[in-house]
Structure 1
Amino acid sequence: MKRVLITGAAGFLGSHLCDKFLAKGFKVVGMDNFLTGSEDNISHLFGNKNFEFFHHDVTKYVHVSGELDYILHFASPASPIDYLEMPIQTLKVGSLAPYNLLGLARVKKARFMIASTSEVYGDPNVHPQTEDYWGNVNPIGPRGVYDEAKRFQEAITMGYHTFHGVNTGMVRIFNTYGPRMRLNDGRALPAFMSQALRGEDITIFGDGSQTRSFCYVDDLVEGIFRLTMSDYHDPVNIGNPQEISIKDFAEEIVKLTDSGSKVIYLDLPKDDPKQRQPDITRAQEVLDWNPTIDRAEGLKRTLEYFKEKVK
């Protein structure tokens, strides 16, 4: 059996990746320090003989005994609330952690995958965003700690690939949603859905004309799995190109939840991207990947999870 190390295993995406690799017949080593992850997300795995877990901070030296075939680095604060409250931890997990893990991948001769993000494009001047676009990022703005941490991750990963011959891959993740998201992580979907279910005002930052493209977590995880199993080294956008304004998205959730919530508008945070839509041509050509779950179906599945959480 192939063996994979997944950092950030107790997080939203990391826990779904653990499920995916176990279902595909892998042995999974999960690692997390629960800074933003939750043990609840992986508690169902503790009885699985092919799953082992280490409570560890990956910004410190990482040791894993035995063979490793793949290393997926998915540990990082990922929401604006998190990385604005924890800027130093965010920078460290985007710099010290990949340094530690790339060294481990080099020793183990493992394929190394990093979770990059659409935030490397900043507030884009190119729409939709292709992997060849270098971005428009403010390195000293409030979002810079996250954006530049991810950009550095890509640089050090390519450095280890070019100079040390490490087998590497990079996924640029666009807005993703689904079960196991935290209610209060500051991103649009959990904020809107939890507010609607509680009958609270739905808060939109700015006038709501900014756009996002939301991908259901199962589709995203399938794309990441295919990229991990490939030998492709350059960045690949994974996301659903179906673009929607934040205002329209909020109205969809109000209708779905049959809520009486009103929409209120607050000031737009500094450097908040005005547009976000992936060009997924590379994923289609390299991975034969397309999202298959439309937003209506994905939101229905997510709503059932949030109903239980809001209770």
Structure 2
Amino acid sequence: MMKILVTGGSGFVGGAIIKNLLQQSDAKIMMWDNRLPKNPLGCYFIKCDITEELPTTKPYDLVFHCAGLLGTESLFKNIKEATMVNIMGTLNILELHRDHGFIVQLNILGDWLNPYMISKRAAENYGLMYRKWYNTRYVSVRPTVIYGPGQSMLQKKVAPTFINAALRNEPIPIYGDGSYMMPLLFVKDVASYIVAIGLNNFNDYAKIDIGSLTHRVTVKELAELVISLTGSTSKLEYKPMRIGQPLSAKDAGANLDLIKGIEEITPFNETPLEVGLQETINYYKGLM
């Protein structure tokens, strides 16, 4: 029986990947995380810290490496921890699977100067190094902006921040002038695409960028759409850009622009933006 590992499986994307796997694979699915998932996912679980000694010396057949320390502004207070988790943790996974298995690592598009992106780029470069010099089967998957049910409020990501403010009729914070483009991806669509890459052993490309082919709205437009869908009386509150973010839409670069060619790898089916947002809104309503 095929053995599949998902690191960071109690997290936002990792949890969605496990749910997708359980629907279409009879493999033995193992989750590694340093915290228990809020809801049972129906897979095996080992509590561990990937920066320390791993719980096994036997590699898995397929690894979805989603474990990582997230945050843009917040990680400036935890730079060393971000380095340990995102880089050293990845090195431990790479070393265990140097000669066996297929690693699909969740990374991120962008080259902003903040601890999260710097550490994720370094981890990706180590993966590419293992692929080149050790012939390790490694692919870096780099989606744009992911939203959906289950996303934590702790990292102040755009969708949960806007939705929770709107549901409370509180001001919605807009950092900068709101013109920054958001190519939004629904988490279930991303999970389905990443799982397809892994199960189909698609190792032709070292890096695979995933961006929305249709859902491109500015930050301001997204906030207005959330207000409309929730029937909120919230107003937009403009604030200076936070540390670690580009100062303007122009400074953000083109790396979050339309991503072409992903259909060449495996079909990418997008949930309509309003449908995905409504499902996400209903999720946060249920938490109130």
CA distance in 2, matches of 1:272, 1:12: 22
CA distance in 2, matches of 1:264, 1:101: 42
Alignment deviations for residues 54-96 of structure 1 (CA, whole Å, 9 cap, x no partner): 1111111213365621112111122325423432221112211
Which residue is equivalent to 1:115? 106
CA distance in 1, matches of 2:203, 2:109: 22
SS of the equivalent of 1:44 reads coil
Which residue is equivalent to 2:33? 32
Whether contact under 8 Å (1:220, 1:239) holds in the other structure is: no
Whether contact under 8 Å (2:50, 2:89) holds in the other structure is: yes
Give the root-mean-square deviation of aligned CA atoms.
Answer: 1.8
The alpha-carbon deviation at position 19 of structure 1 amounts to: 1.0
SS of the equivalent of 2:97 reads helix
Compare 257-266 and 63-72 and name the one that shifted more: 63-72
Alignment deviations for residues 182-238 of structure 1 (CA, whole Å, 9 cap, x no partner): 134311110000001011111111111111111001111111112223122421111
Equivalent of 1:44 in 40, 49, 55: 40
CA distance in 2, matches of 1:101, 1:278: 31
CA distance 1:177–1:15, change in 2 (3 Å): same
Equivalent of 2:158 in 188, 191, 201: 188
Alignment deviations for residues 107-139 of structure 1 (CA, whole Å, 9 cap, x no partner): 5x11011111012xx2xxxxxxxxxxxxxx43x
Alignment of 1:152-231 (within 5 A): 152-228=122-198, 229=200, 230-231=202-203
CA distance in 2, matches of 1:112, 1:244: 32
Whether contact under 8 Å (1:81, 1:186) holds in the other structure is: no
Whether contact under 8 Å (1:80, 1:187) holds in the other structure is: no
What residue identity is the alignment partner of 2:264? E
Compare 6-15 and 183-192 and name the one that shifted more: 183-192
Which residue is equivalent to 2:216? 243
The alpha-carbon deviation at position 165 of structure 1 amounts to: 1.3
Whether contact under 8 Å (2:72, 2:245) holds in the other structure is: no
Alignment of 1:1-311 (within 5 A): 1-25=1-25, 26-34=27-35, 39-40=37-38, 43-45=39-41, 48=42, 51-64=43-56, 68-107=60-99, 109-119=100-110, 122=111, 137-138=112-113, 143=114, 145-228=115-198, 229=200, 230-241=202-213, 242-273=215-246, 274=249, 275=252, 277-287=256-266, 289-309=267-287, 311=288
CA distance in 2, matches of 1:178, 1:56: 26
What residue identity is the alignment partner of 1:161? R
Alignment deviations for residues 123-176 of structure 1 (CA, whole Å, 9 cap, x no partner): xxxxxxxxxxxxxx43xxxx1x11111111121111111111111111012100
SS of the equivalent of 2:68 reads coil
Alignment deviations for residues 36-55 of structure 1 (CA, whole Å, 9 cap, x no partner): xx621xx222xx3xx21111
Whether contact under 8 Å (1:63, 1:104) holds in the other structure is: no
SS of the equivalent of 2:241 reads coil
CA distance 1:184–1:163, change in 2 (3 Å): closer
The alpha-carbon deviation at position 271 of structure 1 amounts to: 4.7
CA distance in 2, matches of 1:267, 1:67: 46
What residue identity is the alignment partner of 1:235? K
CA distance in 1, matches of 2:279, 2:72: 24
CA distance in 2, matches of 1:233, 1:59: 27
CA distance 1:156–1:210, change in 2 (3 Å): same
Whether contact under 8 Å (1:208, 1:247) holds in the other structure is: yes
How many residue pairs were aligned?
A: 278
The alpha-carbon deviation at position 290 of structure 1 amounts to: 2.4
What residue identity is the alignment partner of 1:181? Q
SS of the equivalent of 1:290 reads coil
Whether contact under 8 Å (2:48, 2:55) holds in the other structure is: no
Using the size of structure 1 for normalisation, the TM-score is 0.84
Whether contact under 8 Å (2:227, 2:234) holds in the other structure is: yes
Gaps of 5+ in 2: none
Q: Which has the higher helix share?
A: 1
